[in-house]
A and B are shown apart, each in its own frame.
Chain A
């Protein structure tokens, strides 16, 4: 027991358990009014406490679905459903995932490109940085429909519009991180390059770029998570293409709270997996670059 507590597993389990208990309790409390109405309509007067609690945890469209209902829905809609079917959450998740990854790749490239320009040219920092910052102050919810609908009008639909929204969100942390990263080399390291009469490209490829790699990964961890948000928000504006965002939207139209929660959890799980994947790539690169373990 003591060993368990000393590790990571036990504290996490305890927190999970607490959240679960709180959730079940909240489900009783939030679903009770509607359950009472239902029981009155059905003419059931004397429902025992245990039975009543059971009822609040098994409604069709509960205000707050109980954890096991969400878990059941996730299971049914992934493992229990053909992956090619439009009812499969795995199918929708894969649509969101491809938009996320494409947008993330584009955003990272754009971010790196802008950072390189900014670091090599002082004037471009003064002219570009305000616009880059301003771009992030505009609510994405306002921009997403314009992009999706606008591009749809000229015949661009499917993955690309959503990916563009992901890119719009994810390039920002990459620019900020890489501008800092490309500037980390110390004066003495740059002087060394000068004594070799190195070309600007050599200074970039042999000094600035490798020095910036840790900053790149830190930015990419933020970038990949908000890429997913961008893709989901993009899907909210166009329910033809499918994706987790569409599941959220149809779920809320139809009051299918269980479906909403299931889609939410899949999205959160996806984000976690993506961040972990970037972290794994980071460790691999670190090892190749001789970082202290």
Chain B
């Protein structure tokens, strides 16, 4: 592969969007899902995307994953086009629903990308990633035998199993109750600290975004654009009760203001 020598700034950038726009042509006119998005996600960052329904969060993640094609601007992933990044297996994608294959056991589901990519040491990878998401012992269960939260964790294990450095997560905990969600949030933080992956994480929840992220991207609809980018100054070590501290609440208030400023909840 021939790569141009990247500048020191680019070397850090995993995802770089410049004036990115995406318009869906539909029967009743064009839908502008993204417009003029400028954003850089650096290596090792945990970036959350927050914004009202329909503001283009999923679309942005899908564009990074080469599941949608931008209609204007540029987008690079690891310095290459999203398509090349996909062919290089640069990212693991966690969808909003677990999307496990019902005829495969949990271990076989985690093995799916390994089979497709022809990776060796399957057994070791399966054991390691299932342990990472606390599902050791459930290898031979089928998805319907697991709770919704366990299924979602299995789908995270599947995205981790082939060791991509970038993790794209679209509301992975959206359908879960608060207790399970808290638990998975702190597990995810530990996992991120251990593996030093770059994570792009979509959520509807302000506390979740503030708790997890090093950077919070606030988006607004009509048309989907970035209204605020907030760098978090919370310490790396984050127990759950950090959510009662003044720093945390100050960040949460700023995110809420950002959402309001986007006129997002007005009619």
Mark A residues whose CB is within 8 Å of B: 186, 188-189, 191-198, 202, 206-207, 210-211, 213, 289-292
Stretch at the interface among B11-19, B83-91, B204-212, B251-259: B83-91
Greatest chain A CB density within 10 A among B89, B91, B102 is at B102
CB <8 Å contact, B97 and A195: no
Report chain A residues within 8 Å CB of B112. 196, 206
CB <8 Å contact, A206 and B115: yes
CB <8 Å contact, B95 and A188: yes
How many whole Å from A216's CB to the nearest CB in chain B? 13
CB <8 Å contact, A290 and B104: yes
Question: A192 with B103: in contact, given A197-B89, A206-B112, A206-B115 (CB under 8 Å)?
Answer: no
In addition to A195-B93, A198-B116, A290-B102, 12 A-B residue pairs with Cβ atoms within 8 Å of each other are A188-B97, A194-B86, A195-B65, A196-B89, A196-B116, A197-B116, A202-B116, A206-B101, A206-B112, A210-B101, A211-B103, A291-B103
CB <8 Å contact, A192 and B142: no
Report the Cα distance A206→B93, complex, angstroms: 18
Question: A290 with B103: in contact, given A195-B67, A196-B117, A198-B116 (CB under 8 Å)?
Answer: yes
Q: Mark B111-122, 1 if CB is under 8 A from A, else 0.
A: 011011100000
| B191 interface hit (Cβ, 8 Å) | no
How many whole Å from A1's CB to the nearest CB in chain B? 39
Report chain A residues within 8 Å CB of B87. 197
How many whole Å from A59's CB to the nearest CB in chain B? 58
CB <8 Å contact, B144 and A292: yes
CB <8 Å contact, B86 and A197: yes
CB <8 Å contact, B102 and A192: no
Report chain B residues within 8 Å CB of A198. 116
| B99 interface hit (Cβ, 8 Å) | yes
Pull 27 A–B residue pairs with CB atoms less than 8 Å apart, ordered by A: A188-B95, A188-B96, A188-B97, A191-B62, A191-B67, A191-B93, A192-B95, A192-B99, A194-B66, A194-B67, A194-B86, A195-B91, A196-B89, A196-B116, A197-B86, A197-B89, A197-B116, A206-B101, A206-B112, A210-B101, A213-B103, A289-B103, A290-B102, A290-B103, A290-B104, A290-B142, A292-B144
How many whole Å from A223's CB to the nearest CB in chain B? 22
Q: Mark B61-75, 1 if CB is under 8 A from A, else 0.
A: 010011100000000
Q: Is the interface of A mostly helix, strand, loop or mixed?
A: helix
Report the Cα distance A138→B94, complex, angstroms: 51
Q: Mark B188-214, 1 if CB is under 8 A from A, else 0.
A: 000000000000000000000000000
| B134 interface hit (Cβ, 8 Å) | no
Report chain A residues within 8 Å CB of B67. 191, 194-195
| B105 interface hit (Cβ, 8 Å) | yes
Report the Cα distance A289→B117, complex, angstroms: 23
Report chain B residues within 8 Å CB of A290. 102-105, 142
In the complex, which residue of chain A has the Cβ closest to the Cβ of B144? Answer: A292
Report the Cα distance A257→B64, complex, angstroms: 75
In the complex, which residue of chain B has the Cβ closest to the Cβ of A210? Answer: B103
Report the Cα distance A83→B197, complex, angstroms: 73
Report chain B residues within 8 Å CB of A213. 103
Closest 10 CB pairs of A and B: A290-B142, A289-B103, A195-B93, A188-B99, A196-B116, A210-B103, A198-B116, A196-B113, A188-B95, A197-B87
Report chain B residues within 8 Å CB of A210. 101, 103
Report the Cα distance A188→B113, complex, angstroms: 15
In the complex, which residue of chain A has the Cβ closest to the Cβ of B92? Answer: A195
In the complex, which residue of chain A has the Cβ closest to the Cβ of B97? Answer: A188
Report chain B residues within 8 Å CB of A292. 144
How many whole Å from B252's CB to the nearest CB in chain A? 31
Question: A189 with B101: in contact, given A195-B86, A197-B89, A290-B142 (CB under 8 Å)?
Answer: yes
How many whole Å from B143's CB to the nearest CB in chain A? 8
How many whole Å from A104's CB to the nearest CB in chain B? 25
Report the Cα distance A210→B112, complex, angstroms: 13
Report chain A residues within 8 Å CB of B103. 210-211, 213, 289-291
How many whole Å from B56's CB to the nearest CB in chain A? 17
In the complex, which residue of chain B has the Cβ closest to the Cβ of A191? Answer: B67
CB <8 Å contact, B99 and A207: no
Report the Cα distance A290→B100, complex, angstroms: 13
Report the Cα distance A197→B112, complex, angstroms: 12
In the complex, which residue of chain A has the Cβ closest to the Cβ of B168? Answer: A195
CB <8 Å contact, B97 and A192: no
Report the Cα distance A217→B228, complex, angstroms: 54
Report chain A residues within 8 Å CB of B113. 196
How many whole Å from A282's CB to the nearest CB in chain B? 14
In the complex, which residue of chain A has the Cβ closest to the Cβ of B105? Answer: A290
Question: A207 with B95: in contact, given A197-B86, A292-B144 (CB under 8 Å)?
Answer: no
| Residues of chain B in range 139-162 having any CB-CB distance to chain A below 8 Å | 142, 144
How many whole Å from B161's CB to the nearest CB in chain A? 11
CB <8 Å contact, B116 and A206: yes
Report the Cα distance A193→B93, complex, angstroms: 11
In the complex, which residue of chain A has the Cβ closest to the Cβ of B114? Answer: A196
How many whole Å from A269's CB to the nearest CB in chain B? 34
In the complex, which residue of chain B has the Cβ closest to the Cβ of A193? Answer: B116
How many whole Å from B122's CB to the nearest CB in chain A? 14
